[in-house]
Amino acid sequence: MLSFDINHIEIIGLLAGTLTTISFLHQAYKTFLTKDVSSFSLTTFFIFFCRHFLLVDLRNL
């Protein structure tokens, strides 16, 4: 029988990885539509900030 015992650290890691993937997909989609890479989305930087907080700051608690 399979048992999925996920603790809070693994959930934080999965959330951080998901946010990273979302930020890259969002930026790639925006770049594809506009054909312009000179400006990057503030949403991307916000998601990277959230990822950094989850990966680095919460690990030190």
Q: Is residue 35 part of a domain?
A: yes
Q: Per residue in 8-60, pLDDT tens? A: 878 887 887 788 778 778 777 888 888 887 767 777 778 777 877 777 666 66
Distance CA 45, CA 7 (A): 28
- Which CA distances in Å does 44 have to 26, 30, 33, 38, 41? 7, 11, 16, 14, 5
Q: Is residue 5 part of a domain?
A: no
Instruction: Give pLDDT, residue 11.
Output: 83
Q: Is residue 23 part of a domain?
A: yes
Q: Is residue 10 part of a domain?
A: no
Q: Is residue 6 part of a domain?
A: no
Q: Is residue 28 part of a domain?
A: yes
Q: Is residue 40 part of a domain?
A: yes
- Which CA distances in Å does 18 have to 3, 10, 11, 33? 23, 12, 10, 23
User: 19 and 54 in contact (C-beta within 8 Å)?
Assistant: yes
Q: Is residue 11 part of a domain?
A: no
Number of structural domains found in the chain:
1
Residue 41: give the domain boundaries.
16-60
